[in-house]
Amino acid sequence: MVFDRIVIHYDEIGIKGSNRAVFEKLLIRNILKKLGDLAYNCIRESGQLITFLEDGSDLDKVKDILRRIPGIAFFSPAARCGLDLDEMKKLTLELLSGREFDTFRIYTRRANKDFPHRSMDINCAIGDAVVEKYDKKVKMKGADITVKVEISLKHVYVSLEQVPGVGGLPTDQRQKVVCMLSGGFDSPVAAYMMMKRGCEVIFVHFNNKNQESCSVKNKIIDLAKQLSKYQIKTKLYIIPFERLQKEIIMNVHSEQRMLIYRRFMLKISSAIAKIEKARFLVVGDSLSQVASQTLDNLEATYSGIDTNIFTPLIGLHKKEIMAISREIGTHDISEQPYGDCCSYFLPKHPELHANKGLILENEERFDTDASVKDAVESAVLSEF
């Protein structure tokens, strides 16, 4: 028996009140765009979404795509039958045919409260049919297979697995943010956290030609491609930074260079945000994880930046960040060696408590507007 439909459940969307329909439409649009020619329709039915698969669709590929779409709490490949108990029994037996299992359970969810049989009665009736046909044991906890029966207003959907999704809210392409993407573990996770909240994330990476350019560029592109699995489309701006960096090295004391680097990166990212009509910047800062992320240094770094800044990792421990990076598939890419342009010509003992006034005074030595304009005009844009 072929699973030709996917029953999709959301959680947070369900509490959006009068705006619920808006989020459902966004999620349906995103599902169809990501699945492409694997599916031909997606509809709302009895508080859930039903996605219709094209004949011959690769189910493993469908599952791999759906589990990364923000807004989906969980989903189940399913087959459909009519609102009839005998049809439910027949379909369940067909789905179980040829499968190896010793124990099973039946779980019925009855969105259609007018259906004449109670959930418990349905469980017992279908369970009895399975025992009679296959001589298997019922096990309510830890069963080898759980048969899920979902009764909507018009149809019944039967499934044998439940696949967890990302959760959160569906991507809204009007809610754009710009994320500074380094090659480390933190910024990809920060981007993912914003994707889960419905934002479309645009990436900016600062490149120094003194780095191992091919390996670094490939690593950044690999990170952007992996993260693109969690949103509809992805843009990556690669900014040449070596000329501005040399100027900073020549004019700023080593203890303050990192903060000046980052301030220019934020200003350049802010300019990109204006081009893209993005409303916020996103950074992977975690409070006091490294010297540049102390309270004093963050205040000095963010001060006067004319685009608001989100720091979704600010209260997370490094272990928590690493765990998320493994979940989303960026860990092994981030682990690859590369030369971060911020690591050049830094002191052994960097500034921990920067004087904001002194940092701003150092910045006045530069023609900031011209430097930002030059960097933006030199950017190389890729789309995935």
pLDDT digits (tens, 9 = 90+) for 290-303: 989 999 999 999 99
At 175 the pLDDT is 97
At 65 the pLDDT is 99
Residues 329-347 have a mean pLDDT of 78
- CA 106 to CA 86: how far, in whole Å? 15
User: Over the Cα atoms of the chain, what is R_g?
Assistant: 26
* All structural domains of the chain: 5-164 (3.30.2130.30), 171-383 (3.40.50.620)
Parallel, antiparallel or unpaired: strands 74-81 and 5-9: antiparallel
Residues 172-190 have a mean pLDDT of 97
Residues 10-23 have a mean pLDDT of 90
Handedness of CA 310, 312, 318, 321 (dihedral sign): negative
End-to-end CA distance of the chain: 36
Residues 273-286 have a mean pLDDT of 98
3-class SS of residue 190: helix
Among left, alpha and beta (phi > 0; psi -120 to 50; other), residue 135 is left
At 212 the pLDDT is 56
Task: Say whether pLDDT at 279 is over 90.
Answer: yes
Task: Say whether pLDDT at 337 is over 90.
Answer: no
- CA 358 to CA 356: how far, in whole Å? 5
At 213 the pLDDT is 58
Of the listed ranges 107-116, 207-216, 249-258, the one predicted with least confidence: 207-216
- Which tens digit of pLDDT belongs to each residue from 156-167? 999 999 999 999
Query: 251: pLDDT confidence band, cut at 50, 70 and 90?
Result: very high
According to DSSP, the residues that pair with 238 across neighbouring strands are 205, 380
Tokens of 100: 């190896």
As to burial, measured by CB atoms within 10 angstroms (0-12 exposed, 13-18 middle, 19+ buried), residue 51 is buried
3-class SS of residue 222: helix
This prediction has a pTM of 0.94
Whether the CB-CB separation of 91 and 81 falls below 8 Å is answered with yes
Query: 1: pLDDT confidence band, cut at 50, 70 and 90?
Result: low
